[in-house]
Structure 1
Amino acid sequence: MDVGRTALTFLGGAGTVTGSAFLVEHDGRRLLVDCGLYQGERQWRRLNWEPFAVPPASIDAVVVTHAHLDHCGYLPVLVRDGFAGPIWGTRWSNELAAIVLRDSGHLNERDAQYARASGYSRHDPPLPLYTVEQADEAVSHFRAVSYEDEITVADELGFTLWPAGHVLGSASVLVRAGGARVLFSGDLGRPSHPVLPPRASPPDAETVVVESTYGDRRHDVGTPAHYRMAAAIRRTVGRGGSVLVAAFAIDRTVLVLEALSALMRGGDIPEVPVIVDSPMALAALEVYRDAATQGQLRPGIGPELVDLPTLRLAPMPAESMALNRPDSPCIVLSASGMASGGRIVHHLRSWLPDRDNCIVLTGFQAPGTRGRDLVDGAREVKLLGRYVPVRAEIVHDEEFSVHADAGELVEWLGQLQRPPAAVYVVHGEPRAALALADRVRASVGCAVSVPERGERVLVDDAQALHPRSGSAP
């Protein structure tokens, strides 16, 4: 790369809604924004096992937008393979990411061990992508930064974080590289989050990289809150069955508990036991409680988070195993949110064949995940090496999504003080990304691209774009 030039390479999160990773290079220095794990369809998951696109040791620093696995889950591999620099994020994002990475390492180890014992893997021996020990090593590189604090990575290369309102600690990232400014949205929350303060207006930048998870759809408004889930719970309990809610451990479990609390108080669902069966979710709840004591959540939300008298916790494996066959109607919250791993896989194997039960999927379900298969009407799903019939009722409650929809993404871009010169649409299924790109062209009036994985572009600086006025204020 020419001295003084800034380049942006889309290493992940392009052509798919997972595996986010974006490399900014300036004067031979490198900053990686996000380092996510590929999930969902096999064609993407296989990329987790390929060598990273650039030598990890050549990267000066990493900044993570938030703690979801598709934005931070590859960090242990990056560190294992030679990255030695700092990994920056907000305090709350770092605390949650540490939980996520250690749990991911544990699941990788456990799944490899189970595959070895059961003989269903094509690999001999099946190995984990990374271990708990390697996750711990990645966590040792974490460094905390507050919103709006300027961090210098190298001469003329640095960044600042801004509240994104997606999950606790989530951020958009403004990268400064010489005279260039590149704004990465990260995953953007909706203007109103049930638990978190609202997202911030974006800082000005000539180049914007925006997510498009919900780039081709609009959130349902004007209907009673979570009416689909409430009606399903009433039906299921009425026929003597139980409800299994697939909920992400980070943020989503808190939102589901808050919704169940409101529905139970209002008499919309019966008072049955509500059981949280996810060690990662229980650990994340403690982080949210700590954040509440320090005023990091919406006003009025205290450390108890929810008012749910029937709430029970299932931290131990034996307690989780007992939930495979509940002896009376109950509501069980378990991870992962797309039914791709964790304790919920064992529950599904027992619950799915029973017509009395109900499985509730909350929010976006990525292609290639069991959650997406169930939403799309699969009659059988493969669990732990065996196919299981799907007879239980399947309900999809998308109200739990805290991703901004198409209109809200365009609204966020419209809050820039002046239009950017270029917008790159990433982190979405192809149809969603293309749909959002069309909306941005029509409303913002700048160059818009949906980049391919591995595509590299040059980034212009503010002085070149605005020679008379210089950089924007």
Structure 2
Amino acid sequence: MKAKFFGGAGTVTGSKTIIESNGVQILIDCGQFQGIKPLRELNWEPLPVLPSSIDYVLLTHGHLDHCGWLPRLVNQGFSGKIFCTSPTKDIAKLILLDSAKIQEEEANRANEGNYSKHQIAEPLYTVAQAEAVFSHFRVVEENEVVALDAEISAVFTNAGHILGACTLTLNLESKTLVFSGDLGRDNDVLMYPPTKPKKADYVFIESTYGNRIHPKEEVKLLLETYVNNAYSRGGTIIIPSFAVERAQTLMYMLWQLKEEGRIPNIPYIIDTPMGISVLEIFRNNKKWHKISVSECEKMCAMFDMVSNYQETINFIYNKNPKVVIAASGMINGGRVLSYLERYISLPETTIIIVGYQAEGTRGRKLLEGAKDLKIRGKYYDVKANVVEIEGLSAHGDQNDLLNWLSEIENKPKKVFLVHGENAPADELRIKINERYGWDCTIPLMGQEFEL
């Protein structure tokens, strides 16, 4: 049995791990690379194994860095089944279609504006190629034992990260392999805490925040302060947000603040069509989150739900103070770019960063104090007030990750630290070894291990 790491190794994006056993190849996640250009360029490279040779894909959750390369995989010959939970299937569909649409729009814009380095800019994949993935999805229930092969089974258990997110347990060759996927927090606003594994011969654990402890900050108080400060200056508040889970958490907290009379009566805008669609998935999957149906309805009533781009333009050119939640969360694309083109150079504007910002993304550059930002081929001076709320992360911190391992009854043969940049992964490796005495390895991209 072998484990091969083709993504999510030394980086937080592009998650792809292949387990090969007795001629069967199982791909755990199939993510798109994001961030710095050398990583993004990997999306155009062929997979080191033939997609047609992969028998199954097991999807931990529907974020782009875990499912965003599926259209390329299918287009290049994969014909097997993609197993995931029902919310993950629904979210992955939304995210793949949105990604494909953005890819097509960016390619068209680059060709029209003649700012691509290529003679003809092409999308990584098209909407039609994204849609071709959907027939491969197979829905599984939480805790259901899924027989992939006569001697291979998989179980999906709650990971607490976003709706439908799961840890995967693979049983094969008399061994138990546990893949954390992205782990949520033990005390998340919307999600239930992750289920802890009891047994594992090999553990594949994410390490996004392996060297960080989330600050014990009053998130609602910070949100209240930033909104009121910007309002007092006559400015607009822009919150780049992931459309899944983060946008809904922000909506929930802003609704609570408004109900408590702690923030002003100004327009509150959710300008992410995908984020609006996710609200319906929330309504249909009550068992996966803490928010009640009545709370969801009241929360939604407070917001202007922007569905078409003309509405976006109208809000952009409305000079009055407002709060805008818009995708994408790392400012890689999406409608938030249109707002930033208008508002990033205004000193009365406040930009609130509320999630992990991968290396090379516009969000990371803003946090690092960039004086200008390139958007759609043009540079804009950054004069807006850029602030961060760390306590909204949907990823567990170092304590959460260590705690998730605490109920494993046996000593694993090896722990692989994946989905993290090198420094966080290495510090988590040291902490796991100190606390549990387990053998830990940080795999390199393209590395292969015999299990």
Common fold, TM-score beyond 0.5? yes
Q: Who is 2:237 aligned against?
A: 243
Q: Counterparts of 1:44-83 in structure 2 under 5 Å?
A: 44-83=39-78
**AA at the equivalent of 1:242:** T
Match of 2:156 among 132, 154, 161: 161
3-state SS of 1:280 partner: helix
Match of 1:129 among 107, 112, 124: 124
**Do residues 112 (structure 1) and 107 (structure 2) align?**
yes
- Alignment deviations for residues 183-214 of structure 1 (CA, whole Å, 9 cap, x no partner): 00000011122122222121411100000111
Q: Who is 2:322 aligned against?
A: 330
Contact conserved, 2:186 with 2:192, CA < 8 A, in 1?
no
Deviates more, 1:419-428 or 1:52-61: 419-428
Q: Counterparts of 1:22-421 in structure 2 under 5 Å?
A: 22-221=17-216, 223-292=217-286, 295-298=287-290, 300=292, 302=294, 304=296, 307=299, 310-421=302-413
Contact conserved, 1:363 with 1:398, CA < 8 A, in 2?
yes
3-state SS of 2:410 partner: coil
Q: Percent identity?
A: 35
**AA at the equivalent of 1:224:** E
Q: Distance in 2 between matches of 1:93 and 1:41?
A: 27
Contact conserved, 1:272 with 1:310, CA < 8 A, in 2?
no
User: Kindly tell me: are residues 36 and 446 of structure 1, through their superposed partners in 2, closer, same or farther at Cα, counting changes over 3 Å?
Assistant: same
Provide the alpha-carbon RMSD of the alignment: 1.3
- Alignment deviations for residues 63-103 of structure 1 (CA, whole Å, 9 cap, x no partner): 10001000000000000000000011001110111000011
Contact conserved, 2:326 with 2:335, CA < 8 A, in 1?
yes
Q: Between Structure 1 and Structure 2, how many residues are aligned?
A: 451
**Do residues 14 (structure 1) and 9 (structure 2) align?**
yes
- Alignment deviations for residues 135-193 of structure 1 (CA, whole Å, 9 cap, x no partner): 00012211100111111222322311111010000000011221121100000011122
3-state SS of 2:194 partner: coil
Match of 2:418 among 400, 417, 426: 426
Contact conserved, 1:161 with 1:173, CA < 8 A, in 2?
yes
**Do residues 442 (structure 1) and 442 (structure 2) align?**
no
Per-residue deviation at 1:324? 2.2
**AA at the equivalent of 1:154:** D
Q: Distance in 2 between matches of 1:159 and 1:60?
A: 14
Relative to the length of structure 2, the TM-score reads: 0.97
Contact conserved, 1:8 with 1:24, CA < 8 A, in 2?
yes
User: Kindly tell me: are residues 123 and 299 of structure 1, through their superposed partners in 2, closer, same or farther at Cα, counting changes over 3 Å?
Assistant: closer
3-state SS of 2:214 partner: coil
Q: Distance in 1 between matches of 2:55 and 2:302?
A: 49
Q: Distance in 2 between matches of 1:420 and 1:80?
A: 37
Q: Distance in 2 between matches of 1:296 and 1:275?
A: 25
Per-residue deviation at 1:301? 5.2
Contact conserved, 1:426 with 1:451, CA < 8 A, in 2?
yes
**AA at the equivalent of 1:15:** G
Q: Distance in 2 between matches of 1:73 and 1:80?
A: 13
Contact conserved, 2:194 with 2:404, CA < 8 A, in 1?
no
**AA at the equivalent of 2:18:** L
Q: Distance in 1 between matches of 2:215 and 2:203?
A: 27
Q: Distance in 2 between matches of 1:108 and 1:299?
A: 33
- Alignment deviations for residues 402-437 of structure 1 (CA, whole Å, 9 cap, x no partner): 111001101111121223221011101111111101
**AA at the equivalent of 1:393:** N
Structure 2 unmatched ranges of 5 or more: none
Q: Distance in 1 between matches of 2:223 and 2:399?
A: 25
Contact conserved, 2:283 with 2:293, CA < 8 A, in 1?
no
Contact conserved, 1:218 with 1:406, CA < 8 A, in 2?
yes
